[in-house]
C-alpha cells in the first residue's frame, strides 16, 4: 500500500511526495529522497511521509537512515498501519515479530480489494484455491465449512458445491464486501485471527463453538507468522474428526518461520507438522507446489490437509 495515499493535510507536502514517487519509479531515488525530506520539513509528524522516506533510503542502501525513518514512522503511528516494525526487523534493527500489526494487514487488503481478483489470478498466477479444493474434495461432502481469511471468496467459490453451509471471515471490510457481491457465503463477518476465539469474532450471535467439519485458510497463514494463536481458533471451530486445510509459503531456513522481504512469513514443514501434532491433529496429506508469482518468480509453498483427533 503506497504510504503517499495518506494525506499529510498540507497540499505542498503531498505534491512533493507524489512527485517523489514518480521519480523513484523512474529510478531517481536520490531526488525522490530529497523531495520527501523537504516535505517532512513542512509536516514533521507525518507517519506516511517518514515511511516513504525509509523506503527510498532502504532502496538506496542508506540503511541507518532508513532505520531512523521507519522508527519515526512508528513513533507517529503506534498502530503501525504501514508495517514499520516489519521493515525494522528485516533491516536487523528489531526482533522479528510473531505476527504483523493487525492494522497493517487490514489496511493492506482494504486497499487491495478492488483489484484483488484480477491481480492475483491473472497477473500473479495464484493457484491455491483450486489446488486446495482438490485436496479437500476427497473428504467431501461437508455440513459446514468455515473459510478463515476468506478475502473476496476465491476459495469459497471452489468449495461451495461440497458444503451445505459456508461461512467466511476476514479482517478486511472491503474484501468482505467483494465476497458478499458474489453471493457465495451463507454468513460473512469481520474477524482478527491474531486474537483469541472470543475476541476474534468467530463465536456468538448464533455461532456456537465446534460447529464446523471443515476449516480452511488459503493464503492466510503467511500473514500471521507464529501460528500459536490461530490453532486454538481452529480447534474451537471444528467438530471432533473435522478437517483443517490450509496453505503456507515454505521457509528454507532452520527457524520455524521467517519474515521475507515481501513482508509475508514462510514456515518450515517441521514447524507445521509439530504444531499440528501438539494441538491434536493428524496430517492426512501434504503437497509442495508453486502458489503464485512474485516479481516474476514463482513462490513455493505447501498445502496441508489435517484432521482433528476425537
Peptide bond into 286 cis (omega under 30): no
Binned at pLDDT 50, 70 and 90, residue 1 comes out as very low
Closest to 39 measured CA to CA, from 61, 26, 64, 56 = 56
CA 160/CA 296 separation, integer angstroms: 31
* Structural domains of the chain in order of their starting residue, each with its CATH number: 3-95 (1.25.40.10), 114-308 (3.40.50.150)
Contact 159, 133 (CB under 8 A): yes
Does residue 202 register a pLDDT over 80? yes
Least confident window among 105-114, 119-128, 254-263: 119-128
Please tell me what DSSP assigns to residue 36: H
Neighbours of 273 (CB within 10 A): 16
Distance CA 95, CA 93 (A): 7
Exposure string of 91-128, with b = 16+ CB inside 10 Å and e = fewer, is: eebbebbebbbbbbbbbbbbebbeebbeebeeebebbb
> What does the DSSP 8-state code read for residue 210?
S
pLDDT in tens, 259-272: 999 999 999 999 99
In this model, does residue 82 exceed pLDDT 70? yes
Determine the Cα–Cα distance for residues 52 and 253; give it in Å rounded to an integer.
Answer: 30
What is the chain's mean pLDDT, rounded? 93
| Residue 254's pLDDT band (cuts 50, 70, 90) | confident
Q: In this model, does residue 97 exceed pLDDT 90?
A: yes
Residue the block writes with cell 490437509: 305
Counting every residue written for the chain, the total comes to: 310
Q: Does residue 5 surpass a pLDDT of 70? A: no
Quote the pTM value: 0.92
Amino acid at each position: 500500500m503506497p504510504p503517499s495515499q495518506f494525506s499529510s493535510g498540507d497540499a505542498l507536502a503531498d505534491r512533493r511526495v507524489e512527485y517523489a514517487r514518480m521519480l523513484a519509479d523512474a529510478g531517481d531515488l536520490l531526488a525522490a529522497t530529497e523531495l520527501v525530506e523537504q516535505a517532512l520539513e513542512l509536516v514533521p509528524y507525518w507517519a506516511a511521509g517518514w515511511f516513504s522516506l525509509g523506503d527510498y533510503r532502504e532502496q538506496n542502501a542508506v540503511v541507518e537512515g532508513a532505520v531512523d525513518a521507519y522508527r519515526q514512522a512508528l513513533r507517529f503511528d503506534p498502530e503501525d498501519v504501514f508495517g514499520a516494525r516489519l521493515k525494522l526487523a528485516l533491516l536487523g534493527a528489531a526482533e522479528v515479530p510473531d505476527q504483523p500489526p493487525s492494522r497493517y494487514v487490514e489496511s493492506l487488503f482494504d486497499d487491495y480489494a478492488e483489484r484483488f481478483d484480477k491481480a492475483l489470478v491473472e497477473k500473479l498466477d495464484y493457484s491455491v484455491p483450486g489446488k486446495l479444493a482438490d485436496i479437500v474434495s476427497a473428504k467431501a461432502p461437508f455440513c459446514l465449512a468455515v473459510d478463515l481469511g476468506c478475502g473476496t471468496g476465491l476459495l469459497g467459490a471452489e468449495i461451495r458445491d461440497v458444503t451445505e453451509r459456508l461461512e467466511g471471515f476476514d479482517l478486511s471490510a472491503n474484501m468482505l464486501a467483494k465476497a458478499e457481491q458474489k453471493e457465495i457465503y451463507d454468513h460473512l463477518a469481520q474477524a482478527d485471527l491474531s486474537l483469541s476465539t472470543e475476541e476474534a469474532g468467530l463465536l456468538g450471535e448464533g455461532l456456537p463453538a465446534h460447529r464446523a467439519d471443515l476449516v480452511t485458510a488459503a493464503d492466510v497463514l503467511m500473514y500471521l507468522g507464529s501460528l500459536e494463536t490461530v490453532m486454538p481458533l481452529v480447534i474451537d471451530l471444528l467438530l471432533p474428526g473435522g478437517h483443517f486445510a490450509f496453505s503456507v509459503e515454505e521457509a528454507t531456513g532452520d527457524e520455524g518461520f521467517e519474515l521475507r522481504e515481501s513482508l509475508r512469513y514462510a514456515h518450515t514443514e517441521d514447524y507445521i507438522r509439530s504444531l499440528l501434532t501438539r494441538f491434536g491433529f493428524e496430517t492426512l496429506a501434504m503437497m509442495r507446489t508453486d502458489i503464485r508469482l512474485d516479481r516474476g518468480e514463482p513462490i513455493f509453498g505447501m498445502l496441508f490437509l489435517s484432521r482433528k483427533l476425537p
